[in-house]
Chains A and B, each alone.
Chain A
Amino acid sequence: MTKLSTLSDAVASIPSGAHLALSGFAITRCTMAFSREVIRQEIKHLTISQCVGAMDADMLVGAGAVDRMIYGGGSLDRFGRLNCVNRGIEDGTLAVEEYSSLSVAFRYLAGALGMPFMPIRSLRGSDLIAQLKERSPSDIANITDPFTGDEWPVLKPLLPDVAVVQVQTADEEGNACIMGPRWDNNEQVRASQRTIVIAEHVVTDETIRQNPEQTSIPGLFVSHVVELPFAAHPTSVYRAYDYDAEQIQAYVEATHTPESFHTYLDQYVYNVRDHWEYLERVGGLKHLTSLQADPVKGY
């Protein structure tokens, strides 16, 4: 069954107030075109989760689309902090539940496996656990190991409404290949109610069947497949294209104040009709070709 969809239709399937798990990690495989369309459609009050905060989430927070974030910390690597997320935390406009990378991954894993909870060695003795017990006491507890009598922190499963995952290739049914490290994406997909796949290329069913061991996301989890080249721009997609250093720099500059970020959103989100016009605005085919990955190195 084909699940091919336009970006606009896939985004329109998301109700305000939904919990989205986004596939980005700092400045790589971020769901940027998706985030820009969510902002254009004025979907609000979202909860965003990901193991490591990334540019896709930061942009949504900066645009006022997010009420709550569940994450394990994050940055834009050498380019800077997650200015919008950090500002939201500092001025109290963003509710944040802050974990470590593994504790968010374990919450997704518990959700993916249908487990009632997941014990973890991490978090003990830290202010992270103290803060979580204060802010979200229903998500974390202690339990006595019935076999040894040891005390363990336990985490509640994380069950997002929709996982949104940027991949290299997928077929029309949503069977998708993630090349390179997957960080938390496999667990995000399996814990979520459904998944929107954003693929650089849609390939035939036969292509997937030739190398099925490379399928990271089975189509059965997927509700929409959107084919969109350079959908993660200005972040990178391994074996497809490199990050756009100049554009990320411009983003970081713009996020220093809410005012300058509004100007950025006007220029790259509100006043562009769609993804194709965005790609023209950032330099078009000539510029994008210069970002294409070397087939051996993958960047």
Chain B
Amino acid sequence: MELDYTPSELMAVAGARELRDREVVAVGLGLPVVASFLAKQTHAPNMTILFELGVIDPQPVDQGVGLADPRVWYRANVLSSFVDILGEVLHRGRVDVGFLGGLEVDQFGNLNTSLLGDPKRKFRHMIGSGGANDIASCAKRTIIIMRHEERKLKKAISFITSPGYITGNDSRARAGLAGGPSRVITDKAIFSFHPDTKQMMLTSIHPGITLEEVLGTMGFSPLVPEHIPYTEPPTQEQVRLIREVIDPQHMYMG
């Protein structure tokens, strides 16, 4: 029997599969929340979830409109501060995984959440960094989740809010940063990064999507290996958890 799931559900499941038990994960709202709670309720019960404003390991029963909504702080173990979470946990080096979304990403995994257009001329200012730059700079690895569109996967992005591998090769290390993006998960495919050049590299294609559809809707050419597997589809139980337990009101999945 073919299982019915949406592209967003597959993205959340793919995100969850990247997380391991006992890891410490810094999360922004939206799909990363679904991915993290899904991992925690399946294969990673001892994972610790952090929200930048000062929340450790919440167990929400209602969906919130954002990190400022007390619904997403419910039943936390700790309610503290930026200095505690982004400073004493993240900056100290204890965050294994940062989960980031963005407006634009380039082939080296640099992320823009600041502005669209030309920063020197006409542009539209958006959210900015929040904790995203801190997470991208200090987490041991980051996972990027975004829609697969030409205007989002770009050769040159308008503004680097959060650094990936900067200009590739060893430029991130030379800037004094460890870590870096390990995966980019879109609604068409999953990418990783070449160990030396740090260029984005196609890792798997979602079931039902062709290579042409993946490459034809990107602003740059990723490295493409000879054999590309299909992304493992969600299980029935994963889809049930997302729909019935984690996001019954479709607040995060859109």
Contact = CB atoms under 8 A, between A and B. Distances in A.
B66 A78 contact: yes
B66 A183 contact: no
B129 A98 contact: yes
Given A52-B130, A77-B66, A124-B175, A183 B81 contact: yes
A72 B128 contact: yes
Interface string B158-176: 0111110010000110011
A52 B138 CA distance: 19
A26 B67 contact: yes
Given A121-B177, A181-B79, A100 B127 contact: no
A266 to B, nearest CB: 26
Contacts of B129: 72-73, 98-101, 128
A101 B86 contact: yes
Given A101-B52, A124-B137, A299 B69 contact: yes
A122 B175 CA distance: 10
A183 B87 contact: no
A297 B71 CA distance: 8
Interface bin, chain B: 35 or more
Interface stretch (B16-24, B36-44, B118-126): B118-126
A25 interface: yes
A100 B82 contact: no
Contacts of B73: 180-181, 238, 298
Given A124-B176, A125-B177, A182 B54 contact: yes
A77 B54 CA distance: 16
Could you say which of A85, A124, A181, A185 has the most chain B C-beta atoms within 10 Å of its C-beta? A181
A186 B54 CA distance: 12
B114 A79 contact: no
A125 B172 contact: yes
A141 B55 CA distance: 31
A126 B171 CA distance: 12
Contacts of A103: 133-134
B74 interface: yes
A58 interface: no
Interface string A12-30: 0000000000000111100
Interface string B105-116: 000000001100
A101 B128 CA distance: 10
A125 B161 contact: no
Contacts of B134: 100-103, 122
Interface in B68-83: 68-71, 73-74, 79-83
Contacts of A298: 70, 73-74
Given A77-B67, A79-B65, A89-B125, A101 B130 contact: yes
B65 A181 contact: no
B161 A101 contact: no
Contact of B68 (A27, A105, A126, A184): A27
Given A77-B65, A126-B161, A243-B69, 12 more contacts: A73-B128, A73-B130, A78-B66, A98-B128, A100-B131, A105-B87, A109-B87, A126-B163, A152-B176, A184-B83, A297-B70, A298-B73
